[in-house]
Amino acid sequence: VFEISSLEEEARARLDPVRFAYVSLAAGDSVTSNLAAWQDLRLRPRMLRDVRTVSTATNLLGRPCKSPILVAPTAMHRLAWEEGELATARGAAKAGAIYVVSAQATTSIEDIAEEAPTGPRWMQAYMMRDRGLTRAMLERAAAVGCAAVVLTVDSPGFPHKRTAGRRPLNENFRLPNLLPDDEAPDVEEMVPNYAADLTFDDLADIRAWTGLPLAVKGVLQGADAARCIDAGADAVVVSNHGGRLVPDCIATATALAEVVESVAGRGEVYVDGGIRSGADVLKALAVGARAVMVGRPVWWGLAAGGDEGVFAVLDTLRAELERTMALCGVSAVGDIANDLVCSARRRSIT
Ligand SMILES: Cc1cc2nc3c(=O)[nH]c(=O)nc-3n(C[C@H](O)[C@H](O)[C@H](O)COP(=O)(O)O)c2cc1C
């Protein structure tokens, strides 16, 4: 049986320690807290249901897809595997999973589209101080068939303190979706170039740049989520960036219920952070998410085995979801509801 947990060790063994440290990066205990919050939720299986056929198929932003498990946008896949995002794209396409391409991909969105023409794809963006860079990138993504924009809003630009003696991740990479091809990225200089003045008022304009559905990623408060939808977003992603940014951050499993309640069906809600099993996916959907995104496990799979590793992670999670649905008396994603989950401490989360 393929174990997602063993993949982290496989990636650790294969990667240069500096690269492994990059993917593992955490703010305080926010990563462990994400993991623990899913563990604190418990499934309440339904019995005596007809589960001869179980399907993980669903609809996201108006389009059908094979499963509610998406590849979260993660930067610089060439750090994990020589072919980088090309391998990720093949693995995700084989699994039929939506691949959210990072703004900091080390492969151009045009090359990714050519490599996996049938793979469903969304494009992630940060708002750069030079807003034209973000706009140009999103227009390119739309031109090659990306079906949605994911705007990450949890990383406002702030002055960076150079860490003395820190080794660069790799000087040879390019970020060809964001910077001109001949410009080598200075990873330490990226964050100061993100806009610090992005607000809800910008969302309608950003959506209008491409006309594609817009998901706002990095929302943790219900009121913020409602304001995103009011401002024209089609979806929000409850995310604390995999626990990488804010120390002592609220776990995403904890933040999810309030966001679902505030959005009240006016938009789609996704969640990421610490999703490591099909049971976690079922819990997220039972609390009210429409889909989940998976970050580090896909990165570990890529580091361990390129496209095959990415496929294995996504296919294993989907198969685990299918089996857990059957065991919980659920045959379709649309039948997943709040009764299926409770706190480990209380009978029901409501
Ligand atoms: C190595 C790494 C790079 C990431 N790069 C990006 C990025 O470029 N854009 C973005 O929106 N989120 C980025 N994230 C955050 C992920 O999209 C996602 O929110 C997070 O990984 C989910 O948590 P998980 O790793 O526990 O699944 C990154 C995360 C990791 C681990």
Q: Whose CA is nearest to atom 29 of ligand 1?
A: 74
State which of 154, 241, 245 you would mutate to test the pocket of ligand 1, scoring each by most atoms of that ligand within 8 A of its C-beta.
241
Average pLDDT (64-88) is 97
**Placement of tokens 């989940």 in the chain:** 292
pLDDT (average), residues 72-95: 97
Question: Does residue 75 carry a pLDDT above 70?
Answer: yes
* Ligand 1, atom nearest to 105 Cα: 8
Ligand 1, atom nearest to 273 Cα: 23
Which pLDDT belongs to residue 170? 67
Hey, whose CA ends up nearest to atom 27 of ligand 1? Answer: 295
Q: Which residues of 143-152 are buried (b: 16+ CB within 10 A; e: fewer)?
A: ebebbbbbbb
Nearest-atom number in ligand 1 for the CA of 240 is: 19
Residue 241 is among the residues annotated as catalytic for this protein: yes
Best of 23, 74, 214, 272 for a ligand 1 pocket test (most atoms within 8 Å of beta carbon) = 74
Q: Is 273 in the pocket of ligand 1 (CB under 6 A)?
A: yes
pLDDT tens digits for range 211-259: 999 999 999 999 999 999 999 999 999 999 999 999 999 999 999 999 9
Query: If DSSP codes are grouped into helix, strand and coil, which group holds residue 134?
Result: helix
Ligand 1 centroid vs 348 CA: distance in angstroms?
30
Residue 177 has, within 13 A of its CA and on its CB side, a CA count of: 31
State the closest ligand 1 atom to the C-alpha of 25, by its place in the atom list counted from 1. Answer: 31
Between helices 17-24 and 296-327, what is the axis angle to 10°?
50
pLDDT bin (cut points 50, 70, 90) of residue 1 is: very low
Residue with tokens 């429409």: 290
Q: Say if residue 317's pLDDT is above 50.
A: yes
Tens digits of per-residue pLDDT, 30-55?
A: 999 999 999 999 999 999 999 999 99
Residue that is written with structure tokens 């997602």 in the block: 4
The percentage of the chain sitting over the pLDDT mark of 90, rounded to a whole number, equals: 87
Tens digits of residue pLDDT in 118-176:
999 999 999 999 999 999 999 999 999 999 999 999 999 886 655 555 666 666 788 99
